[in-house]
A and B are shown apart, each in its own frame.
Chain A
Amino acid sequence: MDQETLMTIAGYGKFFILLFVFIIFYGYAFSIYKRQKTGEKDFEKYSDLVLNDSIDATPLEKRDNSKEK
C-alpha cells in the first residue's frame, strides 16, 4: 500500500472515530437529561449521599441483601 492510501485511510479513520465518540457522549448526555426530565430516574438525589452519610442514616436506596434490623 502506498503512503497516500495509508494517509487517506488514517484520515477517514480519525473522522469516524471522532464521530463515534461524539455520538456516544452526546447520546449518553441526552439519555441522562431525558431520564431526569421524564422522571424515569432522579440523578440529583444522589447528592444526598454526602450530606446524609452518618452510619445510622437511612440509606437512600437500601440494598436487598443487607440485614438491617
Chain B
Amino acid sequence: MQSNAQLEYDYSVVKLFTFATILFGIIGMLVGVIIAFQLAFPELSNLAGEYGTFGRLRPLHTNGVAFGFTLSGIFATWYYVGQRTLKMSLKESKFLMTVAKLHFWLYFITILLAVVTLIMGYTTSKEYAELEWPLDLLIVVWWVLWGVAMFGMIGMRRERAIYVSVWYYMSSFLAVAMLFLFNNMEVPTMFWANGAPSSAMHSISMYAGTNDALVQWWYGHNAVAFVFTTPIIGMIYYFLPKESGQNVFSYKLSVLAFWGLMFVYLWAGGHHLIYSTVPDWMQTMGSAMSIVLILPSWGSAINMLLTMKGEWGQLQTSPLIKFMIMASTFYMLSTIEGPIQAIKSVNAIAHFTDWIPGHVHDGTLGWVGFMIMASLFHMAPRIFKKEIYSKSLMETQFWIQTVGIVLYFTSMWIAGITQGMMWRAYDEYGSLLYSFIDTVTVLHPYYTLRGIGGLFYLTGFLIFAYNMFKTATSGRVLDKEPANASPMAS
C-alpha cells in the first residue's frame, strides 16, 4: 500500500457508471412513457411495425430501468461508497482497477445487446428474466467480476469496521447471484433439437408449470428486494448522513433492520401467486412474511427520517436533502402498500389490476429513482471537482417529478380498484355484470393520466441529465472537496 499522503480516491469507474445510469435512464424511461401512452391510445402500437409493439417494448422498459438505470446507479455508488467507507483507493491495486473497468465494459455491452435482442423479439418470456441464454452467461461473468472487485476492495481496506451500507451492497451481490442462477436454469434448444429447426437464441426453462412459477416469483420478488431495495438502502445510509452532516440516528437500528430484511424478504415472493396452483401454505407464508416485512422496512425509513432530527431546516435550503427525504417517504408508502396488497382478501381485488404497477412505480420512481439521482448529484461535485450547475433546475426537477409520481400512482390506484371491483361484480343470478371491454372503456382517462405522469417524470429526468452534463462540463471548479452539503450554483 502507498502512503496515505499522496493517495486519493479514484473515481474513473464511478464516472463511467454515472454516464451509463443517465443514458439507460433516458432510454428506459422514454420507452416507459411510450408504452404508457400505447395503453391509452392503442393505435400508437402500429408506428414502427413489429419493433414498436407493446409486447416488444415492455420488456425493454423493465430491463432498461431495472438492469440499465438502477444497476448502473448501484455500481456507480458502490465504487464511490465502497472506497470511501473502507478507506482504500482503487489506485492502490492495478488488478482491482482492471477488474472494475472490465466489469463496466462487459456490463455496458450486455445492456446494449439486451436492447437489441429484446427489440428483435428474443425473449425467454419470464418476467424480469427475459434475456436469452447467451446474454445470461455474459451477465454471470460481470457479476462475478463485481464480486471480485467488491471483496478485493474489502480485503484491502484500512478500516477494520465495515459500514452498514457495504453490508447492503454485499447482500445484493450474494442474493442476486443465487436468484439469478436458479431462475435462469435454461436449456438452449439447439443442442437438443436433433436436427429440427431451432434458433441459437432460444431456450426453455428447466422447470415446468407451478414449479416454474414458484421459482420465477421467488426470483421476481427478490429482484425487487436485492436490486430495488437493499442497495438503495445502502445508498441512503451513506448519502443522507453525509450530505446533511448528521450521524445516523441509530446505528443499532440499522443493524437490526438489516438482519430483519435479510431473513424475511426471501420468503415473501409467494404473495405473487396467491389464489394460484401453488400449495396453500406457501401462499399463507408469502402473505404473512410480507406483513412482517413492514418492520425492517420502516425501521430503516424511520431511522433516516430521525437522522434529520433538529435539522429539518435543511429541507428548505437543500433540494438534495429534499430528494432523499422524499425518497425515504416513498419507501415508507411503498412498503406499507405492498403488505396490504399481500393480504389474501385485498389480493382478491388487487391481483392482475393496475394497482400493482401503481405500487411498483411509487417505489421505483419515488424511492429508487429519487435516491439514485440524489446520490449522483451528491457525488458530482466530488468526482468532477465542480459545483453543481444549477440549484433552481434541481428544484424544478423535484417538483415536476413529484407531481408526475403522484399523477402516476393515484391514477393507478383508482384504475386498479375500479377494475378489481368491476371484474368481481355480479347480479342476483350470479352472472358477471361487466365484460372485459367495459373495464377498458372506464379506465381510459386513468391510462391517459398515467402517461402524463410518466411524461412529467421523464421531463424531470432530462433536466437532471442536463444539469449533470453542465456540472461536468461547465460547473465552477472547486478548490477543495466539500465536507458535507454539496455546493450548487443558484
Q: Is B87's CB under 8 angstroms from A55's CB?
A: yes
Taking CB atoms, residues of chain B closer than 8 Å to A46 are 161, 163-164, 251
B137 to chain A, nearest CB (A): 36
**Known contacts A53-B84, A55-B89, A56-B4: A47-B251 contact under CB 8 Å:** yes
Bound-state CA distance A53–B484 (Å) is 11
- Indicate with 1 or 0, residue by residue over B149-163, a CB within 8 angstroms of chain A CB atoms: 000000001111101
B456 beta carbon closer than 8 Å to chain A = no
B39 beta carbon closer than 8 Å to chain A = no
Q: Is B160's CB under 8 angstroms from A61's CB?
A: yes
B448 beta carbon closer than 8 Å to chain A = no
Bound-state CA distance A47–B481 (Å) is 20
Chain B 40-93 residues near chain A, CB threshold 8 A: 84-85, 87-89
Chain A 21-64 residues near chain B, CB threshold 8 A: 21, 25, 28-29, 32-33, 36, 43-51, 53-57, 59-63
Q: Is A32's CB under 8 angstroms from B252's CB?
A: yes
Q: Is A49's CB under 8 angstroms from B255's CB?
A: no
Most A Cβ at <10 Å: residue of B89, B163, B238: B163
Bound-state CA distance A60–B284 (Å) is 45
Kindly report which residue of chain B lies nearest to residue A32, judged by CB atoms.
Answer: B252
Contact partner of A63 (CB less than 8 A), chosen from B157, B163, B251, B259, is: B157
Chain B 233-263 residues near chain A, CB threshold 8 A: 237-238, 241-242, 245, 247-248, 250-252, 255-256, 259-260, 263
A2 beta carbon closer than 8 Å to chain B = no
Count of chain B residues with Cβ under 8 Å from any Cβ of A? 41
Interface window among B5-13, B17-25, B403-411: B5-13
Bound-state CA distance A28–B164 (Å) is 16
Q: Is A32's CB under 8 angstroms from B256's CB?
A: yes
A-B pairs with beta carbons under 8 A, tally:
96
Taking CB atoms, residues of chain A closer than 8 Å to B84 are 53-55
A66 beta carbon closer than 8 Å to chain B = yes
Taking CB atoms, residues of chain B closer than 8 Å to A43 are 251-252, 255
**Known contacts A32-B256, A57-B87, A63-B157: A49-B3 contact under CB 8 Å:** no
Q: Is B160's CB under 8 angstroms from A62's CB?
A: yes
Taking CB atoms, residues of chain A closer than 8 Å to B241 are 47, 50-51
Taking CB atoms, residues of chain B closer than 8 Å to A69 are 3-4
Taking CB atoms, residues of chain B closer than 8 Å to A67 are 1
Bound-state CA distance A43–B284 (Å) is 36
Taking CB atoms, residues of chain A closer than 8 Å to B192 are none
Contact partner of A47 (CB less than 8 A), chosen from B88, B247, B288, is: B247
Q: Is B7's CB under 8 angstroms from A55's CB?
A: yes
Q: Is A49's CB under 8 angstroms from B247's CB?
A: no
Kindly report which residue of chain B lies nearest to residue A6, judged by CB atoms.
Answer: B281
**Known contacts A29-B256, A32-B256: A59-B87 contact under CB 8 Å:** yes
Q: Is A55's CB under 8 angstroms from B8's CB?
A: yes
Q: Is A59's CB under 8 angstroms from B163's CB?
A: no
Q: Is B87's CB under 8 angstroms from A28's CB?
A: no
Taking CB atoms, residues of chain A closer than 8 Å to B242 are 50-51, 53
A7 to chain B, nearest CB (A): 9
**Known contacts A32-B252, A63-B158: A25-B260 contact under CB 8 Å:** yes
Contact partner of B159 (CB less than 8 A), chosen from A28, A36, A49, A51, is: A49
Q: Is A48's CB under 8 angstroms from B247's CB?
A: yes
Bound-state CA distance A49–B157 (Å) is 13
Bound-state CA distance A46–B163 (Å) is 7
**Known contacts A57-B87, A62-B160: A28-B263 contact under CB 8 Å:** no
Taking CB atoms, residues of chain A closer than 8 Å to B88 are 55
**Known contacts A61-B161, A63-B158, A66-B158: A47-B248 contact under CB 8 Å:** yes
Most A Cβ at <10 Å: residue of B3, B157, B158, B250: B158
- Identify the 9 closest CB pairs spanning chains A and B, nearest first: A47-B247, A61-B160, A53-B84, A49-B163, A59-B159, A47-B248, A63-B160, A56-B4, A50-B241
29 pairs, A vs B, C-beta closer than 8 Å = A10-B281, A25-B256, A32-B256, A36-B252, A43-B251, A45-B251, A46-B163, A47-B241, A47-B247, A47-B251, A49-B161, A50-B163, A50-B165, A51-B241, A51-B245, A53-B85, A53-B87, A54-B481, A55-B7, A55-B8, A55-B88, A56-B4, A59-B158, A59-B160, A60-B161, A62-B158, A62-B160, A63-B159, A66-B158
B-binding residues in A (CB < 8 A): 10, 14, 18, 21, 25, 28-29, 32-33, 36, 43-51, 53-57, 59-63, 66-69
Given contacts A60-B159, A62-B158, 4 further A-B contacts (CB under 8 A): A25-B263, A49-B163, A50-B238, A53-B242
